[in-house]
Structures are given as structure tokens and as C-alpha cells.
Amino acid sequence: MQVPYLVTPPPGPRARAILARSDRAVTPSLPRAYPLAVRRAQGTMVEDVDGNRFLDCAAGIAVCSTGHCHPRVVQAVQEQAARLLHICGADFYDPLYVALAERLGRLAPGNNSKKVFLGNSGAEAVEAAFKLARYHTGRSQVIAFLGAFHGRTMGAVSLTASSARYKQDFRPLVSGVTHVPYAYCYRCNYNLAYPGCNLACVDYIENELFTRSLAPEEVAAIFVEPVQGEGGYIVPPPNWLSRLRALCDRYGILLVADEVQTGIGRTGKMWAVEHWEVEPDILCSAKALASGLPVSAMIARDEVMSWPSGTHGSTFGGNPVCCAAAQATLDVIEEERLMDNAARVGARLMNNLRELAAESRLIGDVRGLGLMIGVELVKDKETRARARKEANQVVQECFKRGLLLLPCGPNSVRFSPPLILTEAEADTAFAIFAEALAEVENDPGCEGEWP
């Protein structure tokens, strides 16, 4: 199937009609990246209601890991839907819930045995981790990172710090959250460079925060994205995560890895923490876990999952159809070797982008792991002033040319395609991106910013 293939400049007439209906009927709070109204999708192809076909390098925000409507996932969903739609795995015993918990417990990093809570969304997994960390440690405070995105429910948004807009006008939030700088080497808070910095950002927590403001004995958990997602697809330097692990161990603090965006093979390994051989105490997963069906998991070491019956649950969490889709997804990822594909195709795409960066006026940084790749745009390579509008404009120009991408952070563009992306498709995506970038470099007629 040839993608992209545009029959009319998007948005076409049918899409525009849906946009108008949406304006009247749907909450205006949704961010809306560009006017894409979808009819169907298959593999890496998304078709809009006017018949335009796009190459999808957004995957519904890093969700459709096995590609859209993978036949094995569809079959698993159809068969399970005919057998049992719902029973409530919280009040009764659903064998599919149990089997998925067993499998995720085995897949989770490290040798310790694990227990699993299933929810419906990334935010729900994060909320569960927040509550469990407080319950298990008896401590009230948590640490998260500037630039973090952990979701938009009250607890999760209290941990989030990627955009002030997510919190403004919603206070008071959940108390007890302190944010510290992430290991964002391209914009180091301490104006240092790795490895000479000796990870001053970790020392700051121990030597400044813990001595002046927040006693470590009060801290239940550190929440961390092993690669920061919405904040700008930021890959921390080697040793950073293991230094955090050691810090947690010194003070009895739980390390919570939010792998909602990084997990299930996206970075070329099942979990991003595996790149640094770090075992978190709690791991949150969602997004790609069931190729598009809503299921999330909060996975904790046995002794950490210490809360008794009745303290936490969810009506729909671990729904049988979603569990069946998750099992099929994990089968496909393993049997079709999608993690190897993500590593190989991701490396090729990143190399091409790095070569482009050398010639481009706007590209300040290219970073990523596997098929989680961020391109940060700057107005000036010396000052690194953020090219916010240009980043959004590049995404719009890609859309007009039939490539689906999303922005991330204030001034970055992310590639988060299905893990089945071929080398040829990666080359097509790259060519369109380069053309869109050139257009913006020549004529930055900007169309606003990502929220």
C-alpha cells in the first residue's frame, strides 16, 4: 500500500465537516495537533475521512506498537468480545487478568518476583503507584522531575511539570510533590557537561534538597521517566538512572519508573530501564501495552505491593478484551522481533536526522533510543533559543505532505511510529520531514504552539 497518498489537501471537505461538529459537541480542552479526522488505519497507514492516506509516525501518541489493527490483535479482540466483555477483575477472579499479571511480572526488569495492578490509562497506573508508595513507606513526600509528564488526573498532574498550563487554574493539587531538574544535558541547569559534571543533578538532590528543604526520611518515592517523553524526548546520560537507584537505596526511597511511553519495546528493549540495567521498585506501563485498547499496569516488587484488600481497585481495570489484546500484542512483539526492528530502523532514522542536523539552521539536537526519537529546534545554534513556533510549524507541514508526527516539549518534534516501521518507510518519513523543515527554514509563517 502506497503511503502517503493525498487525494485532496487535508483537511478535505468531510474532515472539515467533522471539525465543525466537534467544535459544537466536544470539550474544547483537547489539545488537537492538526485537523486529522480518521476513518480507518492499517499497519503504518492512516486513512482520513476524505480518503487521504498518511504515513503514521505518531502511532496515536506512541500507542499502536504492533501497527494499526494487527490481524492477530484484532482476532484476539473479536474472539474475546464474543466470550466475555466484562466481569470486574477487581471483585471476581478473571483468568485473563491473572494471566496478564503473571506475564507482566515475568517481563518486568530484575529477578525479584512482582505483583501487578491493572488499570485503564497511564494516569491511573501513576495514581496507583503514588498511593502505593505512600502506603508502603508511610511517608508523604515524593520527588518528580521538571519536564515530566505523568498524566492529567489530580495526583498524576501534581507530578507532571512539562507545562504550567496543565496545572494553572486547577489548584490546589495533591500536596507533597517536589520537582528537581532532569538530566537534560542539552540544557544543563548547572551549565556543566557530561561526564565532567559527575552528575551534579543527582548530587543536587542529596546535597542541597535533602539537607536544606526535604529530609530524605520523608520521601516515599522518586518518580522518573527513563527517557523523558512529553517533556521533549530527552535521553539521560549513562549512569544517571543507576545513581538515582543508589540514592533511593541509601534512604529507603522507592524508585518508580514511569514507562508509560517508553515501555513495551519502543526504545528497542521491552523497558527503557533495561538500557541501564536498573530495577525499579514500581514500574508503570500503559499506551503500547495492548496496541490501542485501554489497559495499564502498575507492577511492584512483591514486598512493596503490601496494601491489603479493599485499599485500591478499578471497575474496568484489566477488562478481559483489553487483556486479550495485551497478550496478542506481547506475542507479536516477541515473535515478530519488533524490539530488534525498533533498534535497527530507529538507528537508521536517527543517523539520517543527525546528518540533516549538520546542514540545518533549525535543528539543535537529535536524540533518542529505538523508535523514540526527538528533534529539538532552535532559533540559533549558539544561544539555543527555543524555536517553539517553528517546531509546531514543521509538524503542520509534515501533515500537509502526508506524514503524521507530533510535537513534544516546548520546541521539539517526536517520531514515535509503530514498531513495525520498515527501513523504506523510515526513509520516506525522513524525506518528508526534511522537506517540511526546509519549507519552515525558508518561510517560518508560524501557526502557534503545542500546549
Ligand X SMILES: Cc1ncc(COP(=O)(O)O)c(C=O)c1O
Nearer to ligand X, 62 or 387 (CB): 62
CB of 43 to ligand X, least distance (A): 23
Distance between CA atoms of residues 161 and 178, nearest Å: 10
| Subset of 2-61 contacting ligand X (CB under 6 A) | 61
Burial 162-183 (b: 16+ CB within 10 A, else e): bbeebeeeeeebeebbeebbbb
Q: Give the cell for residue 128.
A: 496507583
Nearer to ligand X, 229 or 407 (CB): 229
Distance between CA atoms of residues 73 and 82, nearest Å: 14
Q: Which stretch binds ligand X (CB under 6 A): 51-59, 120-128, 190-198, 318-326?
A: 120-128
Binding residues for ligand X, rule CB under 6 A, total 15
Nearer to ligand X, 156 or 391 (CB): 156
Q: Which stretch binds ligand X (CB under 6 A): 253-261, 273-281, 407-415, 424-432?
A: 253-261
| Residue 257 binds ligand X, judged by CB under 6 A | no
Length in residues, the chain: 451
Nearer to ligand X, 97 or 223 (CB): 223
CB of 152 to ligand X, least distance (A): 7
CB of 32 to ligand X, least distance (A): 15
CB contact at 8 A, 349 and 430 = yes
Vertex 221: Cα angle to 283 and 91 (nearest 5)? 55
- Closest CA relative to residue 134, chosen from 358, 311, 348: 311
| Subset of 224-243 contacting ligand X (CB under 6 A) | 225, 229-230
Nearer to ligand X, 149 or 182 (CB): 149
Among 134, 150, 301, 389, binds ligand X (CB under 6 A): 150
| Residue 409 binds ligand X, judged by CB under 6 A | no
Among 45, 101, 107, 126, binds ligand X (CB under 6 A): 126
Burial 247-285 (b: 16+ CB within 10 A, else e): bbeebebbbbbbbbbbbbbbbbbbbbbbbbebbbbbbbb
Distance between CA atoms of residues 78 and 81, nearest Å: 5
Nearer to ligand X, 53 or 150 (CB): 150
Which residues, 6 or more positions from 399, have their beta carbon under 8 angstroms from its beta carbon? 10, 33, 34, 36, 54, 405
Q: At what angle do helices 338-359 and 423-442 cross, to 10 degrees?
A: 30
Nearer to ligand X, 216 or 263 (CB): 263
Nearer to ligand X, 264 or 432 (CB): 264
| Residue 248 binds ligand X, judged by CB under 6 A | no
Q: Which stretch binds ligand X (CB under 6 A): 144-152, 162-170, 323-331, 442-450?
A: 144-152
Nearer to ligand X, 3 or 270 (CB): 270
| Residue 387 binds ligand X, judged by CB under 6 A | no
CB contact at 8 A, 143 and 128 = no
Which residues, 6 or more positions from 300, have their beta carbon under 8 angstroms from its beta carbon? 114, 115, 116, 117, 129, 132, 281, 282, 283
| Residue 123 binds ligand X, judged by CB under 6 A | yes
| Residue 222 binds ligand X, judged by CB under 6 A | no
- Closest CA relative to residue 416, chosen from 42, 139, 56, 155: 56
CB of 284 to ligand X, least distance (A): 7
CB of 230 to ligand X, least distance (A): 5
CB of 287 to ligand X, least distance (A): 6
Nearer to ligand X, 216 or 268 (CB): 268
Vertex 367: Cα angle to 363 and 369 (nearest 5)? 150
| Subset of 268-307 contacting ligand X (CB under 6 A) | 286
- Closest CA relative to residue 370, chosen from 269, 263, 232, 236: 269
| Residue 365 binds ligand X, judged by CB under 6 A | no
SS3 346: helix
- Please tell me whether the peptide bond between 320 and the residue prior to it is cis, using omega within 30 degrees of 0: no
CA distances from 5 to 48, 55, 235 (A): 11, 9, 34
Nearer to ligand X, 258 or 281 (CB): 258
Distance between CA atoms of residues 265 and 375, nearest Å: 20
| Residue 147 binds ligand X, judged by CB under 6 A | no
SS3 229: coil
Q: Which stretch binds ligand X (CB under 6 A): 1-9, 143-151, 340-348, 419-427?
A: 143-151
Q: Give the cell for residue 90.
A: 477487581
| Residue 258 binds ligand X, judged by CB under 6 A | yes
Residue whose C-beta lies closest to ligand X: 122
Q: Which stretch binds ligand X (CB under 6 A): 37-45, 147-155, 186-194, 214-222?
A: 147-155
Nearer to ligand X, 201 or 227 (CB): 227
Where on the chain is the footprint of ligand X (CB under 6 A)? Answer: 61, 121-123, 126, 149-151, 225, 229-230, 258, 260-261, 286
